[in-house]
Amino acid sequence: MSKQDSHFANIFSVVLGLLVTFTILMFALARYVGSHTQRPQVLEDDMYVAGVQARTQLPVRLAIAGQDNSVLTIEPPAGAKAAGAGAALPLPKDGHEAFEAACKACHGEGLAGAPKAGDHTAWAPRIAQGKATLYQHALNGFQNKGVMPAKGGRVDFSDELVKSAVDYMTSL
Ligand code: HEC
């Protein structure tokens, strides 16, 4: 080994030794800091422990014959119960409410070519077609310059409700 090589080997060992010492010190420091924070914050936190238990529980619950198994009853979510199954949105009572709920989005501001409610110039030629045609177009949809979706997209509305929304809108 030349003199230069052994000099390099010495320096290299010292640097390596320092790095190893530094690593061990950092590890010890991390353990020390962790023992103050990790345990109370994570391992002893009630919600955390409950979460871990819930996730590691077996995905089965057994009904035992002759015992009280009421905890196993599957309850529908509270909202679904109140509104009745399938009925997501409450139904409006009259034409005004139906207009607010389903038609105003487009007819309020005259979006996408929709005749604006209260704009008599826009409505006059349409009203001239006769109420029957307007009802028909509101119920089944209509496409000329824009797209009027059937029942304004609220197919859960009754025909009567849509018709009263048309009456309300054309009366403005
Ligand atoms: C997504 C937007 C949109 C919604 C929501 C909407 N409309 Fe329309 N409506 C239109 C557009 C666009 C037109 C114009 C269609 C055309 O002339 O091509 C129109 C036209 C009409 C017309 C005139 C049809 C004709 O023969 O000229 C009536 C009546 C009407 N809508 C009623 C309703 C009612 C009632 C509702 C609510 C229940 C409603 N619309 C909801 C977009 C909408």
**CA 21, 24, 30, 32 torsion: positive or negative?**
negative
> Does the beta carbon of 161 lie inside 6 Å of ligand 1?
no
Consecutive sets of 10 residues in the chain, 172 residues long: mean pLDDT of each?
A: 88 97 96 82 81 84 80 68 57 89 89 88 90 92 88 90 92 87
Which residue shows structure tokens 């034409």?
95
Q: Best mutation site among 126, 139, 142, 148 for ligand 1, i.e. most ligand atoms within 8 A of its Cβ?
A: 148
**Per-residue pLDDT, 78:** 63
Rounded-to-integer distance, Cα 58 and Cα 49, Å: 16
CA Rg value for the chain: 36
The CA-based angle 49-35-51, given to 5 degrees, is 10
**Per-residue pLDDT, 172:** 85
**CA 60, 66, 71, 76 torsion: positive or negative?**
positive
Work out the end-to-end distance of the chain between its first and last CA atoms, rounded to an integer number of angstroms: 102
> Does the beta carbon of 152 lie inside 6 Å of ligand 1?
yes
Rounded-to-integer distance, Cα 164 and Cα 167, Å: 5
Calculate how far, in angstroms, residue 23's C-alpha sits from the geometric centre of ligand 1: 72
**Per-residue pLDDT, 83:** 52
